[in-house]
Amino acid sequence: MTTANDYPEGSLHVWALAGLPEVQEGADLAKLIAGAAPDLRDGDILLVTSKIVSKAEGRVVTADSREAAIDAETVRVVARRGPLRIVENRQGLVMAAAGVDASNTAAGTVLLLPRDPDASAVALRAGLRSLLGIEVGVIITDTSGRPWRSGLTDIAIGASGVRVLEDLRGATDAHGNPLNATVVATADELAAAGDLVKGKAGGLPVAVVRGLSAALGGGSARELIRPAADDMFRLGTSEAIREAVAQRRTVRSFTDEVVDPGAVRRAVAAAVTAPAPHHTTPWRFVLLESAGARRELLDAMEQAWIADLREDGKSAESIARRVSRGEVLRKAPYLAVPCLVMDGSHHYGHQRRDTAEREMFVVATGAGVQNFLVALAAEGLGSAWVSSTMFCREVVRKVLDLPDDWDPMGAVAIGRAAEPPKERPPREASAFITVR
């Protein structure tokens, strides 16, 4: 019998466990494994395929279709292409088909993942301790694909008695360079190593790792799931678009955080993909990145607005109230003024046609502004479109030194929202649809 000292430093022994019977519902996995491997010892780590855990826990269910089972296990759809769905399942894992498996199970049934894989690992570890009097680590594994990488590998979906992550931040490498972002997914690496000896079709659902007792410790596979706030790739394409549109709200209170000009330019790049008549480009965006430029424009606009209101006979109180509505522009750390240009428009010499021609360009500009606002939301920036520049276009053109044929179409206040936006009243799409 080999011992841990029989292996050279820096080496592991990984082998698949033979002799396990077909697992049925209600089976005592700890007893089955202890019977097949009575020589397990302290410090060993067991890699257990989730399928046998699911079978023992009765997670084999009758399903008219696998799709219905996937629907039931799905929390959100991340991406979809044809019949393939990448989803977040009830265990918090993002994987194809929610982990629902129609293989290695009777016709007309599907196999679901363990309801709580971490709890399953805890129970199996406690059972082996009771039967064999040893302390081992247990990792429940499942097969998963990976973004940007072809092929499948096993990952840890449940764990007990194993440090699933090894945080090396604060340490240094062999050259003395600081490690600032290195956190190793030890449990996933072990799961993949076990898959090499278990195989996908070899009927060997359990592997043992010996020689890595240093990986034992407290931990759960939940730690491997990146928190939503830290996940830069949380959304699939279709969901990202829906989420950005849903998050697009009018923000009227901003922090003092400086806005990244690059983010605004990326939003402009999205804006100019909007449709436009006659293959034209009717959008122009004036970006006010200096506080002086913003102040000069808003002061001039305010004076023009006050003069107009006085001419309309408004009281001082009414004027002050109306002017205060423009405070959202003053408080924003960044302003953009979208403008309409009619380059490439047709002149018909007929009022109805010429009016319709301008309306086409106005609609195209509105589409560009909407793209701009949604793209800002996708960048994590709040915005408020305010129409005020449309009421004093001459003043805006003069202050910003714009060509006479640039028509300012409002102003967009941009910044980090100082507080969560208020809930939008529900809008049922059906209320805005007429079908003929």
Domain ranges in the chain are 4-59+113-230, 248-432
Q: Which residues touch 420 (CB under 8 Å, ≥6 apart)?
A: none
The helix/strand/coil state of 381 is coil
Cβ atoms of residues 370 and 378 within 8 Å: no
pLDDT for res 334:
97
pLDDT in tens, 184-241: 999 999 999 999 999 776 789 999 999 999 899 988 999 999 988 788 777 666 666 6
Helix and strand numbers (H, E) in the chain are 12, 17
Count of positions (residues) in the chain: 436
pLDDT for res 3:
47
The span from the CA of 359 to the CA of 194, in Å, is 65
Task: Pick one of 3.40.1170.60, 3.40.109.10, 3.30.70.100, 3.20.20.210 as the CATH number of 248-432.
Answer: 3.40.109.10
pLDDT for res 6:
62
pLDDT in tens, 139-178: 999 999 988 899 999 999 999 999 999 888 777 777 778 7
The span from the CA of 96 to the CA of 234, in Å, is 14
Q: What whole-number percentage of the chain has pLDDT above 70?
A: 95
| Long-range contact pairs involving 236-242 (C-beta distance under 8 Å, separation at least 24) | 236/77, 236/78, 236/79, 236/80, 236/86, 237/79, 238/77, 238/79, 238/80, 239/76, 239/77, 239/78, 239/79, 240/378
4-59+113-230 and 248-432: identical CATH topology = no
Instruction: Report how far apart, in Å, the C-alpha atoms of 430 and of each of 155, 367, 426, 434, 435 are.
Output: 43, 22, 12, 8, 10
The span from the CA of 267 to the CA of 261, in Å, is 10
State the CB neighbour count (10 A cutoff) for residue 370: 16
Residue 137 backbone phi and psi in degrees, to 5: -100, 150
> Poorest-confidence range of 2-11, 107-116, 204-213?
2-11
Task: Pick one of 3.40.47.10, 1.10.357.10, 3.30.1330.100, 3.30.365.10 as the CATH number of 4-59+113-230.
Answer: 3.30.1330.100
Threshold 0.75, pTM exceeds: no
pLDDT in tens, 350-396: 999 999 999 999 999 999 999 999 999 888 899 999 999 999 999 99
Q: What whole-number percentage of the chain has pLDDT above 90?
A: 66
Name 414's bridge partners.
Answer: 334, 383
